[in-house]
Structure 1
């Protein structure tokens, strides 16, 4: 008789105080006095970017107050002070939102449902009707929840992956094929880390997210480097260049449509400029063969 294996320990939640501290420190480090209209006295500065006292002056708060905030103590900070600091740091809208989530998590944390996410049947039908448009539904932590046959033809046979591996961050950093498919893989990787950073700010106590970040940090040096930048941004649309093994070069525009009844899920579509070489390549993929069709059918039924 053998003893039952000891289950692995539950992943530690992300440290919200450390996240707030590092985010503010890295945002401050990217600014120089001349960027914000301050005189730069002396060429030798002990820290990169603005000093704490300079940032506090710009935000209209005391140095002691800002220092406590940058040390991760944001419990009693007001929205007005966060707005002032965001302006002083020249934060984007996404960065401002991230700062608010980090500093006031109790006011922004959503309760995670215990059950796994699933795409609604109507979304499966909608994607199946897009017979010339690669489309998929992505959920929390960049999990891929459903897709159509064109997405399978473009991105690969996701149906062949175990359910826990159907995750864009894992695919991007741990599957060699992603580096070959995306001509601008570095940008794709940066976008994925920025997305996970936003998730971590909203849901620091999500154990599955903590486990994903831990796994990628161990297995990918590129992920560790990008994670350390604390960069966040939202990209609802854009252009991706790809090199497909069957049809060659493609330049496709993507749109990310957040679902109104579940903001943790988004429908992502890719399309080519009409009458372009990429449009012709998509038509070739649409008629690729029965194997891709079966993979897409299996995927949208997962």
Structure 2
């Protein structure tokens, strides 16, 4: 990824969404050729020179300090996730001085497979780039059997945008798709040189016009809990809450668990789905416990 371009477009789209009134500036009655704040207004709010801010928005972030990035983040009213993303993109001098290490291969520990099998609700382990590293049988039944797919296809973004079944499964598909793109944006800020990410973004851009549009928005959101609505072809409508839990020992693995409201129609539908998908996947999973080469 072109880091200079990413900085430029992220800052441009962030200032475009803020009016002078929202920023606490005096109302501007003159005709404005651009939506939102002008560059000189951002510079004024951040307490830096116009030339300095223009250089930063053009992607020339070499030597930028954390104090300046903090000031720009406040001027643009970035939330904590957006602020972290700006720091990832700009890489202040202190962070840039740290040596880069190649990405280690991600493996799912055997205890996590046992945790997945012990759960009576859909659950899966998610890795880099939204790769699905492992899942339990009820997750297979609700979504798709990722373990049966070719390794490069075991990815939630590919599933959401390129699998027609996902378009009908999610009642709020557009919202889910936007969340997927936002998560990939966050990852891209941390690992812009990941070749597998570049391949993924390229494939999605070629095959999905919706993905291209959403990717251009530069939105970033971190989702740790929420609710998703489904229309499953076998059991009908389900509303499930989800929680994203950190996995100790790998900051880029998470355990995602879906749960229904107790004694609800969704809980009953999930019970029916579980009874119809009772074939155990433990044998296949046991063969993968010792070696999971997802990168």
Equivalent positions of 1:191-270 (< 5 A) are: 191-270=179-258
**What residue ranges of structure 1 are gaps of 5+ in the alignment?**
1-13
Aligned counterpart, 1:165? 153
> What is the aligned length?
285
What displacement does 1:221 show?
Answer: 0.3
Aligned-partner SS, 2:115? helix
Distance 1:73 1:83 in 2: 17
TM-score normalised to the size of structure 2? 0.92
Aligned-partner SS, 1:34? coil
Q: Is 2:45 the partner of 1:54?
A: no
Distance 1:109 1:278 in 2: 49
Distance 2:151 2:83 in 1: 34
Aligned counterpart, 2:292? none
Distance 2:208 2:197 in 1: 16
Aligned-partner SS, 1:239? strand
What displacement does 1:258 show?
Answer: 1.6
Q: Indicate conservation of the 8 Å contact 2:113/2:285, yes or no.
A: no
Aligned-partner SS, 2:22? helix
Aligned-partner SS, 2:21? helix
Q: Indicate conservation of the 8 Å contact 2:240/2:261, yes or no.
A: yes
What displacement does 1:66 show?
Answer: 0.4
Q: 1:266 to 1:224 in 2, by over 3 A?
A: same
Residues 5-26 of structure 1 deviation map (CA, whole Å, 9 limit, x = unaligned): xxxxxxxxx0011101110010
Distance 2:166 2:260 in 1: 20
Aligned counterpart, 1:181? 169
Q: 1:246 to 1:213 in 2, by over 3 A?
A: same
Aligned counterpart, 1:97? 84
Distance 2:98 2:167 in 1: 35
Aligned-partner SS, 2:36? coil
Distance 2:28 2:234 in 1: 59
Aligned counterpart, 1:122? 111
Q: Indicate conservation of the 8 Å contact 1:147/1:299, yes or no.
A: no
What displacement does 1:253 show?
Answer: 0.3
Aligned counterpart, 2:260? 272
Residues 47-96 of structure 1 deviation map (CA, whole Å, 9 limit, x = unaligned): 11100000111111110110010010112111111111111101010000
